[in-house]
Chains A and B, each alone.
Chain A
Amino acid sequence: MKPLEYHAPTSLDEAISILKAEGSQAAALSGGTDLIIQNRARPLDLAHMVDIKRIPELNVLEYDAKNGLRLGAAVPCYKVAEYEPIVRLYPALAEGAELIGSIQIQSRATVGGNICNGSPAADTICALIVLSAICAIRGPDGNRDVPAVDFMVGPGETALKPGEILVEMRLPPPPAQSSNAYLRFIPRNEMDIAVVCAAANITMDDKGVTCTAATVAIGAVGPTPILVQAAGAVLTGAKLDAAAIAKAAKAASAAARPIDDHRGTVEFRTHVAGVLTRRTVELAAQRIKEDAK
């Protein structure tokens, strides 16, 4: 086993300078629930782990009605799933966070790490996409923002360049008369990776009759998560009746580009992408009605 050095910087600049200096020999350690396993399997062969959990900027978790949500990249999933403003206003994100692994994994795993791992089946990325999250990145050349929809660029690959760190995700405050939902299909009750997943974010008019904005994203059905613009387009301006929702589901199935593997066939995943789209849209619409009561 190759020697390894653990670093626990307390500032972003210090973490970035180690990551920059050590290049592919170094990786940021957040919850470790992917990184430690991957490094044990040796393809990473890391010489340096840079623990980012002691950096204050990465532990921010705050919401206000004007600026929305700030979620630091090192905040563990159990805190995300328990944080009242997230549960109330961004339920799709809470649902993604609380589905990741076991109670043990949720103590450690982070939303930031979930998306930096770059899996198209990641449980939080579809929610972040439909909630219009911005990923705030800091690196040797300063700060830049990347929309969540552009954060993953291929299986296991993200927009992060060498030396860069995901600092936080910023989610705009949700408009009135809106809600959102995330669902995944797995063959078990717990402890699994999505075969297909989907999130929807819906805004209705003041009367709660006509949909004024809709965003749908599907995951585990392509090399990266897919923002299904056609699904949003057919819902926007429509009454959310069965016919409109069926069209959105069809659009999601049409946008799916899954592979065949031991967890699901192309045919099954394509079908389920539509089913989950329908269910997440219905669930989000239901939540808007309940909130109105």
Chain B
Amino acid sequence: MSTNRMVSTTINGEDMALIIDDRMTLLDALRDRAGLTGTKEGCLSGDCGACSVIMNDRVVDSCLVMAAEAEGAAIVTVEGLADGTELHPLQRRFLEQAALQCGICTPGFLVTAKSLLDRNNNPSAAEIRLWLAGNLCRCTGYDKIIRAVEGASADLRAAKG
């Protein structure tokens, strides 16, 4: 028989209890139970990174995490980046650089880039490319994305003073 259970997690700083089916992935639970549809389903095989979320301070492909594994975990999704109506520097720079076209990959890029800048607020272009190797974009050719991340990292350093 199929097992349902309640999973208690913190999502974007908010304690949440989700009723899930054990067959669900974290991606399914975020989209279909928590109503957070910013996280996208792409390849379902860990190649494209569209479903990237931060789980316990590490970026993961949420399509490759069972929802039940999120018990007790702290999750950050793309919805957690902005502070109210104030966009995160990454989001602002993505808009400014037009670092997106169709937009499906963008939430994954934003979350993965955030996980990099949380660790290293002055990454080189090569470090950015390496960190983002698990996120695929079929529209932009990546250069604008790299420039947007570089811009956001400069913003974050300036804000820190």
Contacts and interface: CB of A to CB of B under 8 A. Distances in A.
A105 B61 contact: yes
Contacts of B65: 32, 36, 108
A3 B1 contact: yes
A91 to B, nearest CB: 19
Given A36-B66, A191-B134, A102 B46 contact: yes
B66 A104 contact: no
A4 B3 contact: yes
B85 interface: no
A49 B55 CA distance: 20
A102 B60 contact: no
B44 A102 contact: no
Contact of B133 (A8, A53, A107, A190): A190
A1 B28 CA distance: 14
A37 B3 CA distance: 20
**Interface size of A as a range:** 20 to 34
B130 A190 contact: yes
Given A4-B23, A5-B3, 5 more contacts: A3-B3, A51-B69, A53-B69, A102-B135, A191-B134
B49 interface: yes
Interface of B: 1-3, 5, 22-23, 25, 44-47, 49, 52, 55, 58-61, 63-66, 68-69, 71, 112, 115, 130-131, 133-135
B22 A6 contact: yes
Contacts of B45: 37
Contacts of A102: 46, 49, 61, 133-135
7 contacts: A51-B66, A101-B134, A102-B133, A103-B112, A103-B131, A108-B60, A190-B133
A130 interface: no
Interface in A1-32: 1, 3-6, 8, 29, 31-32
A78 B60 CA distance: 12
B15 to A, nearest CB: 20
A29 B71 CA distance: 15
Interface string A173-214: 000000000000000011100000000000000000000000
B61 A104 contact: yes
A123 B85 CA distance: 45
A121 to B, nearest CB: 16
A156 B10 CA distance: 37
A107 B58 contact: yes
* Chain B CB within 10 A, most for which of A31, A37, A102, A189: A102
A33 interface: yes
A88 interface: no
Given A103-B59, A103-B112, A107-B58, A6 B44 contact: no
A144 interface: no
Nearest to B71: A8
Contacts of B25: 36
Given A189-B133, A190-B130, A101 B46 contact: yes
Nearest to B43: A37
A104 B60 contact: yes
Given A6-B66, A8-B68, A37-B64, A104 B22 contact: no
B52 A104 contact: yes
B60 to A, nearest CB: 5
Contacts of B69: 6, 8, 29, 32, 51, 53
A104 B46 contact: yes
A263 interface: no
Nearest to B45: A37
* Chain B CB within 10 A, most for which of A1, A33, A104, A191: A104
